[in-house]
Structure 1
Amino acid sequence: MTEVLRYEVGSGTVLVEVDDNSYGVNHPARNEQGILDVGRRLEDALASIRPAATAVVEAMRELAPEQMEIEFGVKLAGDAGAVIARNSTEGHFILRMSWPAAAVIPLEEE
């Protein structure tokens, strides 16, 4: 079975289909159409994966690549926000981010 989650986005909403036993889906309130209202903005849910992307960039920066690209799947998980998918094919979003070496800001010396 699947469930449908509603996230606020911009001036409207977006519906996302998830497995009914997905992590973080057991608490949202169901509306009259049977849709689970998450009660949060999609942008806020996605912000929870930013620290992971930042950590990868910082960890790889010392290798001084000419180009750096990160790809991972992101799943939306109700109350839990967004989580990194176990593999990219199960993600709701596949994020591919890349930077030329000149754009990667060096770490500050302490």
Structure 2
Amino acid sequence: MTEFARFELDGGGSVVVEVDEEPGVSRAARPGRVLRDARASFEKALTDVRDAASTALDQFRTMSRPPDEVELKFGVKLDAEAGAVIAKTGVQGQFEVKLRWRRNDLPIEEEVVEETED
């Protein structure tokens, strides 16, 4: 069964997002599609993920030799109950971090770091 969550927008209106079905919940009276209202606004749902990305970025900016470029990549999943969460791959949440240092006289140095969270 397809389920949708409606996230209100702070400026008015709403956005509807397809979400995973709640495990263990059977909706016998409403076959087909289900529309639920999300607990938080779309903006509020994304705020926590934005703050997490900002915190991770600050960690790399404060290195003893900070990189010239930082690329932080992760998936965001929207949930009617939890809001926005960092999506998992397999059994673990995943960040992909790419750090670059540039020197005028040398080619680009690149280090790729992958972090996973349980």
TM-score (structure 2 length as normaliser): 0.57
Q: What RMSD in Å do the two structures reach over aligned CA positions? A: 2.2
Higher strand share: 2
Query: For residue 41 of structure 2, what is the aligned residue in structure 1?
Result: 41
CA distance in 2, matches of 1:77, 1:85: 10
Answering whether residue 72 of structure 2 is matched by residue 70 of structure 1, we say yes
Structure whose CA Rg is larger: 2
- Provide the residue aligned with 2:8 in structure 1: 8
Q: Which amino acid in 1 is paired with 2:13? A: G
Contact conserved, 1:8 with 1:39, CA < 8 A, in 2?
Answer: no
CA contact (8 A) 1:45 1:82 kept: yes
1:106 aligned partner? none
- Which runs of 4 or more aligned residues in structure 1 lie more than 6 Å from their structure 2 counterparts after TM superposition? none
Deviation at 1:3, TM superposition (A): 0.8
The aligned residue for residue 19 of structure 1 is 20
Distance 2:84 2:36 in 1: 16
Report which structure shows greater RCO (CA 8 Å, sep ≥6): 1
**CA offset at residue 34 of structure 1?**
3.7
Gaps of at least 5 residues in structure 2 are 24-32, 90-101, 103-118
Q: By percentage of residues, which structure has more helix?
A: 1
Q: TM-score, normalised by structure 1?
A: 0.61
Conserved? CA contact 1:7–1:14, under 8 Å: yes
Letter paired with 1:82: A
How many pairs were matched up?
A: 78
Q: Percent identity?
A: 42
